[in-house]
């Protein structure tokens, strides 16, 4: 990520998409999981990642 991103927030919901759609393209980078929580009254999950140094 070339130092351009401090945190990444992903909202994840259950769905079947056939072949699927890539979330990102390009070189891989290290991320560490900071927090995960289910949003109240929903099946959505919010995952928060931080860039590794």
pLDDT by position in tens, the chain (length 53)? 466 778 999 999 887 777 777 777 777 778 899 999 999 999 899 999 998 87
Q: Where do the structural domains in the chain lie, given as residue ranges?
A: 1-13+30-53
pLDDT of residue 2: 60
pLDDT of residue 3: 62
Please, are residues 35 and 48 in contact by the beta-carbon 8 Å criterion? Answer: yes
For the whole model, what pTM was predicted?
Answer: 0.70
d(CA 21, CA 6): 24
Three-state helix/strand/coil letters over the chain:
CCCCCCEEEEEECCCCCCCCCCCCCCCCCCEEEEEEEECCCCCCEEEEEEECC
Q: Which two tokens stand for residue 19?
A: 């072949």
């Amino acid at each position: 990520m070339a130092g351009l991103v401090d945190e990444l927030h992903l909202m994840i919901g259950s769905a079947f998409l056939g072949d699927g759609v890539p979330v990102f393209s390009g070189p891989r980078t290290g991320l560490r999981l900071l927090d995960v929580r289910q949003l109240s009254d929903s099946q959505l999950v919010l995952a928060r990642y931080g860039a590794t140094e």
